[in-house]
């Protein structure tokens, strides 16, 4: 390996990007037009654009999830929150006289976002104040929230016909889908909030060692509360996108299992589930990888019966390639150096002994 | 100065404190049962309790395996799919005409093999359990639809007997064979955790993996073992499920992993590992079972209200459990 | 707990008690089905014990067991899957409680375990769609490229509709399914899959969607791709929910095979008959029809769901 | 010393971590029946040598011979089964398991595969009695102080029939009595022919027990010497590589006089503060510029006092007045707002955030006090971090390595820096010199004097009575979780008298009550 490539190979994002490139390449070989982008009524149009647009909601949810996971928590309720926020917004719009009115749409969004924030606060209180384990605390809302969403829609699919709302999912801006900009904006916002301020470091510190952070004067509880609220807000916006994308709110299907995808994206991106350091750019790549995987299944016309097997293989391949231990073993075979420690210190969280 | 207030208390007073969360859970469960009895007349039938066990036998077995995994601080998302895959494979092989015993052996080998492989990936390549077992989940579910995209009936004599044999008073109250198998698994699980080296290593790794390594414990072997055990329990659960439904269906058990994890955690096991009991897990499964039974008995809840009420009951239960736990800390 | 204290046995007040276990609330269709049953029970003076199984067979079996404990008069349920009911149905039979299946059948060999089946025939729905297509494309020259949006992989409606449709179009070798993928019965799924179909296959003549929702999702993809749904691409769906009928009336869909959720009144009649010990036919199909664009325009004003 | 053949030989050992060469061509020999001290500054590579030996890390180069065989252990388990028993530097126990279990896990007495719990408890009790420790062996180790945990870890190691016993800084959190007890057992084991490798930063202990000394500096071998032939001063010179008169400087430290600081409002006035089950109500005043020492035996409740004062634990009675205003110090945030800082004794659980870099660990407390919205500008960070890396000679001097990669002593210095950066008015130091090499220890002591001269109040807790006596203006004595005496540190006070007070618990009023 030349000295030039080495730092590149060592970069955290190298392998996720490599995986993404390989998947895109495989698709292009299967269907040469896969990567082509064309101009159509002033909009860019093509599979890569589809992937970006479709991954936007997942990116949003995963951004919030990254923060939650960084504190050592997990948020299973995001899917339900997507469904609830989408349902509230669509319900409000569908009942309005003029669905295209900008005011109606803004009110709908504000209402839905408000409710989502309340739900996030509920999760936050359960975890940080009452001290319930995050997975169970958010499981409550995962189950009940789906019911709430269906209560709002009364089990029906609410179809709306609102230009401004539709734009959230399908509108264009500078020839690109608006959804991409919204996701990008959210990513930049989260990045600014965490990396331009000290918030990111404080979140990582709480996730790394909550007691030590408390003794250093950090209000750990407040931070934990905050990340759940942030996660809910992200999920709400994702919910708008999902429902706007099909101009209808489906209390049952909207955001179903998105929590698993989001967690997967976060973990592929390099953030450990045990908490601590988080990587927003990695998360975004993870979301893109997952969406590309789904699109690949459709584009290569892999039969639904075997689609899951294909997914399993790709997920495990992605993770193996990324695992430093795997690469170390692989390299060792080539160079014959002695084995690394049986377990890398990176994963093992420093535990509280006293 | 008074120093009387400073005594920590004798050792016997400290010991049960560890059991307080489990005892609180038990008490709350009894309260919930009492509420059911006071509200619905037929709830007091003994058979209702038996039914909770009959209907949750496979869940219980899977939850025992999950308890091992969670005690080490890991997680196994593949259980629901492995259960489905085991049932599916059994049904498929039986349909192909293989003898029941052979099918049983094959079906019971698949789960642990997959678990072992996942454990190896987790240990040797240092990949997070969440991802590895998620891939395992995709794989096992994919195998289900791959084998057949519609459900396969089981007509084998052995299976039918196991499914329909009633132990107890045939006309009156009874349990199924599966319940006895589930109890056996629970007892073995509890024994292994409390009295064998493997069991104690599981707790040690959950307490602090790095320390466990430096204390010279076989961390890798144990880690692989728990995923294998969880795979085995899922396989047994899958067999029980195939007794229960006398078929293999590709979509069965979707989301079961969440129920199982919830049961384990409600039973007092800490998700970060190191503390919890199989007995608590049994209680956790019963809590979920009783909640479901309460809702069915009510019979007036709309589809979405069902979900909201399940969430609400879960919340009330966990809140009380937590508050009692804090009080006694 | 409410009025149940006095009524969880066989109607103390003389009312017939029907225990009904529903699959879940996974679609608008299912909700309409639930509502129909609840309303019909009220009108027929039957006390309904309703349970939502959230798409889990375990929950349904549990519910049936509890109905047996509560000694309801009649048990009805829409099975989540076809197989696996023998054990619990035997228990019901031993307890002397008659069972009615709705919407989906079970594959039990022992037909005495349930009194009757009330519901639609998914294979027939697929077949009707296929037959219409064969008729429609009779005059076409050259291959007719069909893409299929399947329902949830492994689910009975998806399997049966695919089967029925496949059988019907086998009559004409011009008709070719060039791609078939699962859209999970949802609009978002239908749309996403259709987008890829459109990218991969420049010439698509027909879309067959296993339900209206996926078809409605696909509509958006087709429009966005600059094609005219209903003209450039012939669209066939199943269900006939309101939004689907609207699309049909608007000329965006071309054909819908109905799958009616309104089983309530028929179910209540059956429950009464079964309870009274009357003979009922072993299989009753709901009255269902098919709609073309013109028929949809007429029918739309009086659709209930 | 027996001059038979060495039981353990390490030759030409090298080990590098990304960016750091921790060991370079190091030779080491260990003979049966000797206590061999491994000496060196923080970060010299002592712990790394031990971890390489026991297979926690792979070696880059070199060979290890145990007995007659060349070995390459793949982990502590293999090492232990080959007869190498180790207590690593950071206490490594499973916090959730009981004391008895921690001692025996992995080699529990069994019958038919089943662990005999009664036997485990009985033998654990026996073993701890040998170490003079009387505790409830069924309680989880996490409920005990660090010192007790250290003893438990030692108990675990000496129970095995080992050829080689390795103790990496076992005495850092033990008090004099405990150390004496440990030494008795070490001598006993040595006389049985066991080879003991011993790491410590206490020179007295080295000269008290070691037969031979190997000195490492910056990852390289300086030499191997019989203890008798290496005077203390020479040892220190070899360790730090400079002819520094550190020792003299320490000796020269003036005995702190209770300056005319009394009078005026004390900075902190504690009255009747207490917490049920932790520490009996106590009163204490601390003036600006005063160093108050807390003396007491292991588990006497010194840490508890510190935690109450800092609001880390909630007091259930009593009051604290800061600058004359009665306030509740109910949580660390409030304490920090009032200018109090607390450097915990348990750096792994309550101190460092292992994932974060040295820089982030250092500025954490200051950042927390400013609030997350106002990040400390990068330039200011660099200034502060560089200043303290230099002042405390933290190695490696790179602020951006994760703090987990630092040696134990350097981690401790990072923690100290974290609090110094906040410029507190009262700094509570709980065992700040634990695991710190002699040069750095002198630096820290000097620092405490400087800080107090500059008007900062310090509450100083240390297991080393000498240190407490040297630095404090006054000393509060703890016994059985009760504050039994306040001594003014004048000429009448010496180690013996403090020991007496600790032992007898007599109330001897010092400068104030
Ligand atoms: N896992 C690691 N990764 C990177 N660097 C490491 C790691 N462990 C130790 N080091 C570095 O190796 C050097 C030697 O550390 P070591 O822990 O052996 O020191 P030590 O002599 O035990 O010091 P102390 O007295 O402070 O415990 C230090 O510079 C340290 O930063
Ligand atoms: N010998 C002992 N027997 C029983 N419990 C003990 C003993 N020593 C310490 N402990 C436990 O550890 C805690 C020690 O208190 P604390 O840490 O405040 O003491 P300390 O004086 O700071 O001691 P250390 O020297 O360990 O820092 C007590 O709460 C007690 O439960
Ligand atoms: Mg060290
Ligand atoms: Mg202490």
Cα separation of B6 and B4, whole Å?
A: 5
DSSP D345: S
The answer to whether residues D120 and D22 belong to one domain is yes
Contact between residue C57 and residue B255 where contact means Cβ atoms under 8 Å apart: no
- How many structural domains does chain D have? 3
For chain A, which residues make up each domain, given as ranges? 24-323
Distance (Å, whole) CA C238 – CA C128? 10
Last residue of a domain, which of D400, D423, D446?
D423
In angstroms, the CA B298 to CA B310 distance is 12
Name the residue among C4, C63, C153 with its Cβ closest to that of B149: C153
**Long-range contacts of the stretch D203-208 (C-beta < 8 A, 24+):** D203/D232, D203/D235, D203/D236, D203/D438, D205/D171, D205/D179, D206/D37, D206/D39, D206/D235, D207/D232, D208/D183
| Residue D282 vs residues B1, C3, D344, D485: alpha-carbon distances, Å | 9, 62, 20, 10
d(CA B188, CA B59): 16
Report helix, strand or coil for A335. Answer: helix
DSSP line for C262-301: --HHHHHHHHHHHHHT----SEEEPP--EEEHHHHHHHGG
* pLDDT exceeds cutoff 80 at D490: no
How does the average pLDDT of chain D come out, rounded?
87
DSSP code string of D244-290: --HHHHHHHPPPPP--TT-SS--SEEEEEEEETTTEEEEEEEE-TT-
Query: Rounded CA gap, C283 and B145, in Å?
Result: 29
Range of the domain at B73: 18-34+43-327
In whole angstroms, what is the distance from residue D316 CA to residue D314 CA? 6
- The closest ligand to the CA of D294 turns out to be 2
Distance D147 CA to ligand 2 centre (A): 7
Closest among D146, C290, B135, C236 to A352, alpha carbons compared: D146
User: What subunits make at least 3 CB pairs under 8 angstroms with B?
Assistant: A, C, D
In a domain, B2, yes or no: no
Asked whether the beta carbons of D171 and D124 are under 8 A apart, the reply is no
Which phi and psi angles does A173 have, rounded to 5°?
A: -150, 125
Residue D441 CB less than 6 A away from ligand 1: no
Condensed to tens digits (0 to 9), the pLDDT of residues C275-290 reads 999 999 998 988 788 9
Least confident of C216-225, D9-18, D117-126, D289-298: D289-298
In a domain, B8, yes or no: no
Q: Which of D74, D142, D348 sits opposite A339 (nearest CB)?
A: D74
Do D15 and D107 belong to one domain? yes
Ligand 1 atom nearest the C-alpha of D43 is 19
3-state DSSP assignment of residue A74: coil
Question: Does residue D101 lie within any of the structural domains?
Answer: yes
Q: Which neighbouring-strand residues pair with C18?
A: C48, C74
C and D adjacent (3 or more CB pairs under 8 angstroms): no
User: Average pLDDT, stretch B191-211?
Assistant: 94
Write the DSSP assignment of D311-322 as a string of letters.
TSS--SEEEEEE
- Asked whether the predicted pLDDT for residue D9 surpasses 70, the reply is yes
| CB atoms A204 and D356 under 8 Å | yes
Which residues of B fall within a CB distance of 8 Å from A263? Answer: 130
Q: How far is the CA of D130 from the centre of ligand 2 (A)?
A: 19
Containing A177, the helix (H) or strand (E) segment is strand A176-177
Q: Which has the closest alpha carbon to D468: D510, D430, D501, D500?
A: D430
B177 in a domain, yes or no? yes
Same domain, D242 and D286: no
Q: Ligand 1 pocket, D406 CB below 6 A?
A: yes
Q: D278 C-alpha to center of ligand 2: Å?
A: 9
Give backbone dihedrals phi and psi of B157, rounded to 5 degrees, phi first: -60, -45
Cβ contacts (< 8 Å) between B7 and chain D: which residues? 277
Q: Are A283 and A266 in contact (CB under 8 A)?
A: yes
CB D428 less than 6 A from any atom of ligand 2:
no
**In the 8-state DSSP scheme, what is residue C55?**
T
- Is B107 contained in some domain? yes
Question: Which chain D residue shows the shortest CA-CA distance from B191?
Answer: D114
Nearest CA to ligand 2 atom 25: D298
In a domain, residue D255? The reply is: no
What residues contact B183, with CB distance under 8 A and at least 6 apart? Answer: none
Candidate from D43, D92, D398 with most ligand 1 atoms within 8 A of CB, to mutate:
D43
D434 CB near ligand 2 (under 6 Å): no
Distance CA C23, CA C77 (A): 8
Distance CA B307, CA C54 (A): 8
- Classify residue D254: in a domain, yes or no: no
Q: Do residues A302 and C180 touch, judged by C-beta distance below 8 A? A: no
Let me know if chains A and D touch, i.e. at least 3 Cβ pairs under 8 angstroms: yes
Q: Map residue D440 onto helix, strand or coil.
A: helix
> Does D303 contact ligand 2 (Cβ within 6 A)?
yes
Helix or strand or coil: residue D241? coil
Evaluate if residue D275 carries a pLDDT over 60: yes
C70: closest CA among B45, B33, B300, B39?
A: B45
Residues in chain C: 305
> Which of B18-32, B254-268, D310-324 comes out lowest in average pLDDT?
B18-32
Give alpha helix (H) positions in chain A. 5-10, 14-30, 47-70, 78-95, 102-124, 134-153, 163-170, 178-191, 199-208, 210-215, 220-246, 258-268, 280-299, 304-322, 324-335
On whether the CB atoms of residues D28 and D36 are closer than 8 A, the answer is no
**What local confidence, expressed as pLDDT, does residue B289 receive?**
93
CATH number at residue D289: 3.40.50.300
Asked if D401 has any chain A CB less than 8 Å from its own CB, the reply is no
Interchain pair A150, B304: CB under 8 A: yes
Does the Cβ of D407 fall within 6 Å of ligand 1? yes
Give pLDDT tens digits for C137-168: 998 888 999 999 999 888 888 999 999 999 99
Q: Which of D79, D92, D94, D142 to mutate to test the interface with B (most CBs of B within 10 A)?
A: D94
Do residues D215 and D284 both lie within one domain? no
Residue pLDDT, tens place only, A160-203 = 988 899 988 888 888 888 999 999 999 999 999 999 999 999 99
DSSP string for D451-507: HHHTT-EEEEE-S-HHHHHHH-SEEEEEETTEEEEEEE-STT--HHHHHHHHHH---
Which ipTM did the prediction report? 0.89
Q: Is D43 in the pocket of ligand 1 (CB under 6 A)?
A: yes
Please give the angle made by the CA atoms of A16, A21 and A22, to the nearest 5 degrees. Answer: 100
What mean pLDDT value characterizes chain C? Answer: 89
- Residues around ion ligand 4, judged by CB within 5 A, are D 303, 345
The string of DSSP codes covering A238-306 is HHHHHHHHHTEEETTTTTTTHHHHHHHHHHHTT--TT-S---HHHHHHHHHHHHHHHHHHHHTT--HHH
**B128 neighbourhood in chain A, CB within 8 Å:** 267, 272-273, 347
Ligand in closest contact with the CA of D44: 1
Residue D351 CA, ligand 1 centroid: distance in Å: 18
Q: Is the CB of D438 under 6 A from ligand 1?
A: no
Q: Which range marks the domain in which residue D415 is found?
A: 348-423
Dihedral of CA atoms C50, C54, C59, C63 in degrees, nearest 10, equals: 0
Return the number of other C-beta atoms located less than 10 Å from residue A333's C-beta.
9
Residue D401 Cα to ligand 3 middle (Å): 17
> Do residues D430 and D306 make contact, with C-beta atoms less than 8 angstroms apart?
yes
Question: D178: Cβ below 6 Å to ligand 2?
Answer: no
Same domain, D86 and D27: yes
Do C200 and A299 count as a contact with CB atoms less than 8 A apart? yes
Q: What is the pLDDT of residues A288-337, one digit of tens each?
A: 999 999 999 988 888 888 888 988 988 888 888 877 777 777 665 554 44
Is the Cβ–Cβ distance between D239 and D217 less than 8 Å? yes
What pLDDT, on a 0 to 100 scale, did the predictor assign at position A8?
Answer: 65
Residue nearest to atom 8 of ligand 2 (CA): D299
Alpha carbon nearest to ligand 1 atom 2, residue = D405
Distance from Cα D108 to the centre of ligand 4, integer Å: 31
- Which residue among D60, D406, D415 has the greatest number of ligand 1 atoms within 8 angstroms of its CB, and so is best to mutate? D406
User: Would you call D30 helix, strand, or coil by DSSP?
Assistant: strand
Q: Does B10 score more than 50 pLDDT? A: no
pLDDT at A51 over 70: yes
Backbone Cα Rg of chain D: 23
The residue of chain B nearest to residue D95, with distances taken between CA atoms, is B207
Chain A contact for C162 (CB, 8 A cutoff): no
Q: Are residues D270 and D191 in the same domain?
A: no
Same-domain status, D86 and D147: yes
Tell me, using a 6 A CB cutoff, whether residue D20 lines ligand 1.
yes
Using N-to-C axis directions, what is the helix angle for B278-298 and B256-266, rounded to 10°? 120
E strand or H helix that includes residue C135: helix C122-136
pLDDT reported for residue A354: 32
Query: Are D233 and D90 in the same domain?
Result: yes
In this structure, is residue D135 part of a structural domain? yes
Comparing C-alpha atoms, which of D70, D27, D31, D75 is closest to residue D52? D75
Sheet strands (E) in B84-171: 152-153, 166-168
Is the CB of D92 less than 8 angstroms away from the CB of B216?
Answer: no
d(CA D55, CA D78): 8
pLDDT given for residue D416 in this prediction: 92
| pLDDT one-digit tens code per residue, C73-103 | 999 999 988 888 988 999 999 999 999 999 8
The CATH number of the domain holding residue B289 is: 1.10.3470
CB atoms near residue D24 (< 10 Å): 18
- Answer for the pair B36, B236: CB distance below 8 angstroms, yes or no: no
Give yes or no: residues D198 and D102 share one domain.
yes
Q: How many domains does chain B have?
A: 1
Q: Give the whole-angstrom CA distance, residue D221 versus residue D465.
A: 33
Residues D293 and D272 in one domain: yes
Instruction: Considering only CA atoms, give the Rg of chain A.
Output: 21
Q: Give the Å distance between the CA of C253 and the centre of ligand 3.
A: 75
What interhelical angle do A220-246 and A178-191 show, nearest 10? 180
> Which residue lies with its CA nearest to atom 18 of ligand 1?
D45
**Which of the given ranges, B108-117, C261-270, D332-341, D473-482, has the highest pLDDT on average?**
B108-117
Architecture per CATH, A24-323: Orthogonal Bundle (1.10)
B/C interface, count of CB pairs below 8 Å: 140
Which residues of chain A neighbour C38 with C-beta distances below 8 Å?
Answer: none
The model's pLDDT over D24-56, given as tens digits with 9 standing for 90+, comes to 999 999 999 999 999 998 889 999 999 999 999
Task: State the pLDDT at residue B6.
Answer: 35
């Amino acid at each position: 390996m030349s000295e030039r490539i080495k730092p590149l190979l060592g970069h955290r994002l190298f392998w996720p990007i490599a995986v993404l490139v390989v998947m895109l390449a495989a698709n292009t070989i299967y269907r040469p037009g896969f990567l082509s982008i064309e101009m159509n009524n002033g909009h860019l149009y093509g599979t890569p654009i589809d992937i970006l647009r479709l991954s936007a909601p997942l990116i949003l949810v995963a951004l919030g999830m990254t923060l939650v996971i960084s504190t050592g928590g997990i948020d299973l309720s995001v899917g339900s929150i997507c469904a609830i926020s989408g349902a509230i917004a669509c319900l409000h719009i569908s009942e309005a006289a003029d669905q295209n009115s900008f005011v109606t749409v803004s009110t709908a969004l504000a209402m839905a976002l408000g409710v989502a924030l309340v739900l996030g606060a509920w999760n936050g209180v359960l975890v940080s104040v009452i001290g319930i384990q995050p997975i169970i605390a958010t499981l409550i809302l995962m189950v009940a929230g789906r019911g709430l969403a269906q209560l709002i829609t009364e089990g029906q699919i609410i179809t709306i016909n609102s230009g401004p709302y539709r734009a959230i999912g399908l509108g264009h801006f500078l020839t690109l889908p608006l959804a991409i900009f919204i996701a990008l904006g959210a990513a930049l916002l989260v990045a600014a909030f965490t990396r331009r301020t000290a918030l990111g470091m404080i979140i990582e510190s709480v996730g790394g060692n909550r007691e030590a952070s408390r003794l250093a004067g950090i209000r750990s509880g407040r931070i934990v509360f905050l990340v759940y609220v942030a996660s809910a807000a992200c999920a709400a916006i994702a919910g708008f996108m999902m429902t706007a994308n099909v101009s209808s709110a489906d209390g049952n299907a909207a955001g179903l299992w998105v929590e698993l995808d989001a967690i997967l994206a976060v973990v592929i991106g390099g953030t450990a589930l045990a908490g601590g350091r988080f990587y927003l750019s990695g998360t975004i790549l993870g979301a893109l990888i997952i969406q590309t995987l789904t699109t690949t299944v459709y584009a290569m016309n892999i039969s639904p019966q075997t689609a899951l097997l294909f997914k399993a293989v790709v997920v495990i391949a992605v993770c193996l390639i990324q695992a430093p231990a795997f690469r170390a073993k692989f390299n060792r075979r080539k160079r014959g150096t002695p084995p690394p420690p049986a377990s890398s210190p990176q994963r093992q969280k420093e535990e509280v002994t006293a | 100065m008074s120093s009387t207030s400073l005594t920590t208390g004798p050792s016997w007073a400290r010991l049960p404190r560890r059991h307080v969360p489990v005892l609180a859970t038990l008490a709350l469960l009894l309260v919930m049962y009492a509420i059911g009895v006071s509200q619905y007349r037929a709830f007091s039938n003994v058979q209702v309790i038996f039914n909770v066990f009959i209907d949750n036998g496979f869940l219980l077995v899977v939850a025992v395996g999950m308890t091992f995994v969670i005690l080490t601080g890991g997680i196994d998302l593949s259980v629901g799919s492995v259960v489905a895959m085991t049932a599916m494979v059994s049904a498929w092989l039986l349909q192909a005409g293989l003898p029941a015993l052979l099918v049983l052996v094959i079906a019971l080998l698949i789960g642990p093999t997959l678990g072992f492989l996942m454990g190896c990936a987790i240990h040797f390549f240092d990949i997070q359990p969440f991802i590895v077992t998620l891939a395992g989940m995709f794989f096992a579910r994919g195998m289900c639809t791959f084998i057949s995209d519609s459900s396969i009936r089981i007509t084998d004599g052995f299976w039918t007997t196991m499914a329909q044999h009633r132990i107890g008073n045939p006309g009156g109250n009874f349990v199924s064979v599966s319940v006895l198998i589930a109890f056996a698994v629970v007892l073995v699980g509890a024994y292994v955790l409390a009295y064998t080296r493997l069991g104690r290593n599981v707790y040690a790794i959950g307490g602090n993996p790095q320390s466990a390594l430096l204390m010279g414990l076989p961390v890798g072997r144990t880690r692989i073992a728990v995923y294998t055990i969880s795979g085995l329990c899922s396989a047994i659960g899958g067999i029980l499920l195939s007794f229960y439904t006398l078929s293999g269906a590709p979509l069965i058990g979707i989301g079961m992993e969440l129920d199982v994890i919830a049961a384990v955690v409600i039973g007092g096991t800490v998700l970060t590992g190191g503390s919890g009991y199989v007995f608590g897990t049994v209680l956790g499964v019963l809590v979920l079972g009783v909640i479901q039974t309460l809702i069915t008995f009510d019979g007036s809840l709309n589809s979405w209200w069902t979900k909201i009420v399940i969430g609400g009951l879960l919340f009330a239960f966990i809140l009380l459990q937590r508050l009692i736990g804090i009080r006694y800390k | 707990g409410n009025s149940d204290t006095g009524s969880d046995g066989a109607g103390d007040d003389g009312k017939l008690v029907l225990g009904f276990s529903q699959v879940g609330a996974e679609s608008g269709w299912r909700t309409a089905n639930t509502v129909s049953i609840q309303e019909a029970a009220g009108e027929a003076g039957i006390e309904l014990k309703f349970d939502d199984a959230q798409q889990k067979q375990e929950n349904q079996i549990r519910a049936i067991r509890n109905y047996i404990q509560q000694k309801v008069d009649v048990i009805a349920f829409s099975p989540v899957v076809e197989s696996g009911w023998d054990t619990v149905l035997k228990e019901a039979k031993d307890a002397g409680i008659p069972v009615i299946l709705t919407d989906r059948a079970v594959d039990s060999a022992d037909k005495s375990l349930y009194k009757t089946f009330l519901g639609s025939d998914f294979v027939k729905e697929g077949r009707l769609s296929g037959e219409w297509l064969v008729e429609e494309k009779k005059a076409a020259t050259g291959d007719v490229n069909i893409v299929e949006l399947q329902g949830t992989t492994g689910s009975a409606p998806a399997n049966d509709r695919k089967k029925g449709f496949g059988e019907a179009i086998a009559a004409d070798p011009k008709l070719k399914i060039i791609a078939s993928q699962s859209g999970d019965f949802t609009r978002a799924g239908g749309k996403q899959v259709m987008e890829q179909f459109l990218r991969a296959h420049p010439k698509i003549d027909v879309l067959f969607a296993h339900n209206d929702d996926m078809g409605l999702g696909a509509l958006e993809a087709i429009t966005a791709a600059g094609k005219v749904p209903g003209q450039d691409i012939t669209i066939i769906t199943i269900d006939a929910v309101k939004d689907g009928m609207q699309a049909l009336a608007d000329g965006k869909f071309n054909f819908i095979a109905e799958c009616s959720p309104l089983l309530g009144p028929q179910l209540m009649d059956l429950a009464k008959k079964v309870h009274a010990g009357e003979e009922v036919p072993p299989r009753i199909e709901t009255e269902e029809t098919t709609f073309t664009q013109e028929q949809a325009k007429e029918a739309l004003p009086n659709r209930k769901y | 010393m027996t001059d038979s053949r060495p039981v353990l030989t390490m030759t030409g050992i090298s080990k590098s971590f990304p960016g750091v060469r921790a060991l370079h061509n190091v030779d080491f020999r260990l003979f049966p029946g000797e206590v061999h001290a491994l000496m060196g500054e923080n970060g010299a590579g002592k712990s790394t040598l031990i971890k390489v030996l026991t297979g926690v890390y792979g070696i880059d180069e070199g060979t290890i011979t145990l007995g007659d065989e060349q070995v390459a252990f793949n982990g502590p388990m293999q090492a232990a089964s080959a007869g190498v028993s180790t207590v690593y530097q950071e206490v490594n126990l499973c916090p959730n398991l009981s004391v008895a279990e921690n001692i025996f896990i992995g080699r529990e007495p069994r019958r038919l595969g089943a662990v005999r719990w009664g036997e485990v408890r009985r033998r654990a009790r026996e073993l701890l009695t040998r170490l003079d420790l009387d505790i409830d062996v069924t309680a989880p180790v996490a409920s005990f102080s660090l010192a007790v945990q250290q003893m438990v870890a030692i108990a675990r190691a000496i129970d095995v029939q080992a050829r080689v016993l390795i103790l990496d800084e076992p005495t850092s959190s033990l008090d004099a009595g405990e150390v004496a007890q440990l030494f008795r057992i070490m001598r006993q084991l040595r006389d049985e022919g066991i080879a003991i490798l011993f790491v410590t930063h206490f020179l007295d202990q080295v000269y008290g027990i070691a037969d031979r000394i190997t000195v490492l500096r910056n990852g390289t071998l300086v030499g191997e010497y019989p203890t008798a032939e290496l005077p203390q001063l020479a040892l220190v010179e070899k360790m730090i590589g400079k002819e520094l008169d550190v020792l003299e400087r320490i000796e020269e430290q003036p005995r702190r006089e209770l300056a005319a600081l009394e009078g005026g409002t004390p900075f902190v006035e504690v009255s009747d503060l207490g917490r049920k089950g932790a520490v009996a109500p106590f009163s204490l005043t601390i003036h600006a510029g005063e160093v108050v020492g807390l003396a007491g035996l292991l588990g006497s409740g010194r840490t508890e006092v510190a935690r109450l004062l800092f609001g880390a634990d909630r007091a259930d009675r009593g009051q604290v007045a800061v600058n004359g205003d009665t306030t509740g110090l109910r949580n660390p945030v409030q304490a920090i707002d009032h200018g109090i800082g607390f450097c915990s004794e348990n750096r792994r659980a309550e101190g460092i955030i292992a994932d974060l870099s040295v820089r982030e660990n250092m500025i954490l407390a200051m950042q927390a006090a400013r609030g997350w919205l106002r990040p400390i500008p990068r330039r200011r960070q660099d200034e502060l971090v560089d200043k303290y890396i230099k002042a405390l000679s933290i190695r490696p001097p790179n602020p951006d390595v994760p703090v987990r990669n630092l040696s134990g002593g350097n981690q401790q210095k990072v923690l100290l820096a974290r609090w110094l950066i906040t410029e507190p008015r009262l700094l509570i130091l709980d065992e700040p010199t634990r695991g710190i090499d002699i040069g750095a220890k002198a630096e820290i002591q000097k620092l405490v004097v400087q800080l107090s001269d500059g008007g900062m109040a310090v509450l100083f807790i240390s297991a080393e009575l000498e240190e407490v006596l040297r630095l404090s203006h006054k000393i509060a004595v703890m016994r059985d979780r009760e504050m039994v005496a306040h001594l003014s540190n004048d000429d009448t006070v010496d180690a013996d008298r403090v020991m007496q007070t600790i032992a007898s618990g007599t109330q001897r009023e010092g400068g104030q009550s």
